[in-house]
Each structure stands twice: as C-alpha cells, then as structure tokens.
Homo-oligomer: A and B are copies of this chain.
C-alpha cells in the first residue's frame, strides 16, 4: 500500500474500519470537457471493493464509460487542533482522509447488483427489515463497482 505523508499514515485496519463506518464518499472521474468531475455518493464496501448506486444515465456514468480510472475519496473532519508546532501556522485539523485510486465498472449481472443494493439498503436504512429489491429497482438503478488499486490513508 502506498502512502502519502508517512508520518500520519493510517494502518490498513484503520482504513478498513473507516471505510465501513463512513456515510459519504466522493467519486472522481475524467470528464469529456477536460475537467475532473467529482460528486458525493453513498456507498458500501464488499470484499474489499466499493459499490455505489446511481441513476443509469448522467455525467459520471458517461465518464466511466470513456475512462474507467477513478478516484474515491472519504474524509472526516472533527475539529481544529490549535498549537500544532509542525505546521507553519501552529494550527492543524483533526481529520481522517482516505484516497483510493482504482477502476470502475458498471455491474450488469443481476445477482451481484441485487447483493450490492441490498447492502446499500442495509447500511442506510437499517430500520427496514426483510430487505427485498423489487424488479423495477434492479432495472431502474445502476450499480458501479470500484476495484481499488492504490489506497492511502492519513489521520491526525
């Protein structure tokens, strides 16, 4: 696993726990207009991969079809730490930050799609029991899988 500033590197276990608990991540794709394109999504982790759902059309779906290389970012800021002698301004944030580079693919296989959507419902609406994904949701919703290639995590 590569690392950004080694001094503040999260361990693999810390990264895995953070990815399981975080509610929102940001998917970045290459836009055909020559800009990166970043939007927030809900997501789940399954077998070390990231799954999110979205409408089957739209900008990020088009971008992924043109270039599968994506970045997935998750962060959490929990306040400012005044008196940090290592920063020029003696102030620093308390945060966790995980950056994942990987490849995205649209999940077409119905069973896999159903599994991912079930996990998404379980994570975000845990009050729902007996989760079943209706046929129209399987066809009306796209599921994207991101297979991580490089994962880095920092925490302070």
Task: Establish whether residues B125 and A40, one from each chain, have CB atoms under 8 Å apart when the complex forms.
Answer: no
Complex Cα gap A29–B24 (Å): 20
Interface of A is mostly: strand
Task: Establish whether residues A36 and B26, one from each chain, have CB atoms under 8 Å apart when the complex forms.
Answer: no
Shortest CB–CB separation between residue A107 and chain B, in angstroms?
15
Check if A33 is an interface residue, CB within 8 A of chain B.
yes
- Given A80-B124, A101-B31, is A71 in contact with B36 using a C-beta cutoff of 8 Å? yes
- By the criterion of a CB under 8 Å from any partner CB, how many residues of chain A are at the interface? 49
Q: Which residues in chain A, 65-111, are within 8 Å of chain B measured between CB atoms? A: 69-73, 75, 77, 80, 82, 88-89, 91, 93, 95, 97, 99, 101-102
Task: Establish whether residues B4 and A88, one from each chain, have CB atoms under 8 Å apart when the complex forms.
Answer: no
Check if A23 is an interface residue, CB within 8 A of chain B.
yes
Task: Establish whether residues A37 and B101, one from each chain, have CB atoms under 8 Å apart when the complex forms.
Answer: yes
- Given A137-B88, A141-B89, is A30 in contact with B24 using a C-beta cutoff of 8 Å? no
Task: Establish whether residues B89 and A121, one from each chain, have CB atoms under 8 Å apart when the complex forms.
Answer: yes
Instruction: Find A59's partner among B4, B89, B102 (CB 8 Å cutoff).
Output: B4
Complex Cα gap A149–B133 (Å): 40
- Give chain B residues whose Cβ lies under 8 Å from the Cβ of A72: 38
